[in-house]
A and B are shown apart, each in its own frame.
Chain A
Amino acid sequence: MASLVDKTAASGVLPGLRGLPFVLVLIAIAAVIFATGRWLGSSYAFFVGYVVLQYIVLGTAWNILGGYTGYVNFGVTAFFAIGAYSTVVLNKLVPAMPLPVMILIGGAMAGLVGLGTGYLTLRLRGVFFSIATLALAVVVQTLITNWDFVGGARGAYVLRPRIAPLIGGEYVQYLFLIMLGLCVIVLATARAIERSALGYGFAAIRDDEAAAEASGVPTLRLKLIATGLSGGFMGMAGAPLPFYVTYLDPASGFSLNYAVNAIAMPLIGGTSSWLGPVVGAILVGGLQEYLRVTISSAVNVLVAGVLMVAFVILAPQGIVGLFQRKKR
């Protein structure tokens, strides 16, 4: 783990040793996690694990735009819900469609909405983009609430198959496996970005946009790439949700908790590397589950908000940042 944490020192020093070994390690870790889950055979573990994995994907997706590029997306729920509701629609139209295809379509829809919002607002100061994404969450919710085909305000029921395809066992194991796969894809993408010209371009935009332009960085195009990627991954994270909850209504699909968690986790874990959102999601997700069981569900949602405010004030570099400073 130590070599992974030390990413700034490693970047650029390891020519050739770029994506592949990292992806293989990720896949190995994922396989061990899944095998352990099967061995435990507890569906509670799979249900809780799914939520944490979902937040790793959401947090990493947010961080690609927020942490790397410096543009704050408050409309996480809009992208997440677009993914979830596209699954509801696809499931009604083509019930036999495999879940991974639905995830791809949901991700593409969310990515396109991200591109559209970005195209209209990213020429202006970053804060206008943030405000537009806040309003976007409200407007997408309004559209869904008024759309009878997906149940409108009443919500929609989705039948969860009893048996997981391919792997057998409970369906939640399949959902868990799918989310685990998404995690591998998203984390590998995030780390590849960090070490590529794209990542340097994002960092330049975050630090000083005029200087980035003067250095030849096509800022608008890069911002659109970041927005599309980030929105697309959020949509992919949301696409399996209807099968997980089996009943989806606008109030729960657009719950502010998703947005707060997706923003809080990278900020708590650290925004400068792919590891930050992972640390944040495991820590905050785990803590929330613990509080939900021991105290109440009202208190557990408060945790992410309070921790986020505490971290941005007291430890702006996040947990990974604290750790790096100590090492140096």
Chain B
Amino acid sequence: MDASLDLLLNALISGLLLGGFYAAVSIGVAISFGLLDVVNIAHPAFILLGSYVAFLGNTVLGIDPILAALIAMPAFYFLGMLAYQVYYVAFERRDDQSLRGLSFFFGLLFITEVALVLVFGVDYRTVQARYIGATISLGLFDLPLRLLVPFLVSMAMVTVLQLFLSRTFIGRAIQAVAQDQLALRLMAANPIKIKRIAFGLSIATASLAGAFLIIIQPVEPSIGREYIGRVFAICVLGGLGSFPGMVIAAMTLGIAESLTATFFGPSWAPAVAFGILLVTLAVRPSGILGR
């Protein structure tokens, strides 16, 4: 009785922390899909790329994986701008997003995965940092720093982005691009340029999320796929384009997965996201905070 309560509490805490990490994984898609209506299913591939950049920074240069991710962020930003430019010219302008645009991102996902296999092989890779392996024990439950550090940095990133979107001119323009492109033109802002910046930002977040991923678990090239279902389940459940909704949804999924793993076994956890996604789409496609 006591043991299972203990188990439940620990599962809840680690689920919450996991949810914080999921928020970092999903915020890029909350921007690209939620605000820009660009269905970037290759986002997990960019995250995996971030994991391997952090891995290189950590093993070759010996720096902290999160620091490595921060240094790599501008490169990811430009990579994102480039990807959007190709997407815009080849698909958005031709109004061919749904069939070929989606396939384009699917191809990117696959190419990245195979390229990572060719360069790094299929072995699991890990990083070194002082907080990996340490825990803070608070009597009833334990706080593994491996989860706590990504959680805190992730929440900081979400807050900064939320402030950026609501307080700055470009941020407000990004929000407007989803609503009304004409109004944006009247504000003398070029919608394509705004979308390019926003997409760059969304890919930049993948750099950090990738570092979190490899801090939390060993990484190999094909695990990115597991995150497609998670990311979109979170974004749909959270109501597209809403950051607070997205964070709540991420925590919900984190806790649901953690409980599933604790009480049914970890191999069942990947199915949770799909269940949530399907139920949300079938019952309440506008998400928990939607009207």
Contacts and interface: CB of A to CB of B under 8 A. Distances in A.
Classify A-B as touching or not with yes or no (CB < 8 A). Answer: yes
Interface of A: 66-67, 70, 72, 74, 117, 120-121, 124, 126-128, 130-132, 134-139, 141-143, 145-146, 153, 256, 259-260, 263-264, 267, 271, 298-299, 301-302, 304-306, 308-309, 312-313, 316
A256 B103 contact: no
B107 A264 contact: yes
23 contacts: A66-B99, A74-B106, A121-B282, A127-B39, A131-B39, A132-B277, A134-B232, A138-B229, A138-B271, A139-B274, A141-B270, A142-B267, A142-B270, A146-B267, A153-B267, A256-B222, A260-B107, A298-B114, A302-B114, A302-B118, A308-B103, A312-B100, A313-B104
Contacts of B100: 267, 312, 316
A256 B90 contact: no
Contact of A316 (B94, B225, B228, B273): B94
A121 B91 CA distance: 24
Contact of B114 (A128, A135, A305): A305
Contacts of A298: 114, 117-118
Contacts of A67: 99
A128 B91 CA distance: 18
Contacts of A299: 118
Contacts of B90: 312-313
Interface string B54-96: 0000000000000000000000000000000010001100101
Contacts of B96: 316
B223 to A, nearest CB: 11
Given A305-B107, A313-B86, 17 more contacts: A66-B99, A70-B98, A70-B99, A72-B99, A74-B41, A131-B277, A134-B228, A137-B225, A138-B225, A138-B228, A260-B107, A263-B103, A299-B118, A309-B111, A312-B101, A313-B104, A316-B100
Contact of B111 (A131, A132, A305): A305
Contacts of B115: 302
Interface string B244-279: 000000000000000000000101101101110110
Interface residues of B, number: 45
A312 B103 contact: yes
Interface string B191-220: 000000000000000000000000000000
Nearest to A298: B118
B contacts with A: majority SS: helix
A138 B103 contact: no
Contacts of B91: 312
B120 to A, nearest CB: 12
A59 to B, nearest CB: 13
B149 interface: no
Given A74-B41, A120-B281, A146-B267, A135 B104 contact: no
B236 interface: yes
Contacts of B222: 256
A10 B104 CA distance: 32
Given A135-B277, A142-B271, A306 B106 contact: no
Given A127-B102, A309-B111, A316-B96, A256 B268 contact: no
Given A305-B114, A306-B111, A124 B281 contact: yes
A134 B41 contact: yes
Given A139-B274, A142-B268, A298-B118, A309 B226 contact: no
B141 interface: no
B112 to A, nearest CB: 9
Nearest to A145: B267
Contacts of B270: 138-139, 141-142
A134 B231 CA distance: 11
B110 A256 contact: yes
Nearest to A299: B118
A267 B273 contact: no
A199 B283 CA distance: 31
A70 to B, nearest CB: 6
B250 to A, nearest CB: 16
A301 B114 CA distance: 8
A209 to B, nearest CB: 11
A308 B285 CA distance: 31
B285 A128 contact: yes
A99 B262 CA distance: 41
Of the candidates B222, B229, B275, the one having the most CB atoms from chain A within 10 angstroms of its own CB is B229
Contacts of B113: 256
A267 B267 CA distance: 35
B278 A132 contact: yes
A31 B98 CA distance: 39
A135 B273 contact: yes
B31 to A, nearest CB: 16
B178 interface: no
B233 interface: yes
B99 A271 contact: yes
Contacts of B225: 137-138, 256
Contacts of A70: 98-99
B281 A302 contact: no
A132 B96 CA distance: 20
B289 interface: no
In this complex, the member of B111, B268, B285 whose beta carbon has the largest number of chain A beta carbons within 10 angstroms is B111
A72 B101 CA distance: 10
Contact of B107 (A121, A124, A312): A312
B99 to A, nearest CB: 6
B7 interface: no
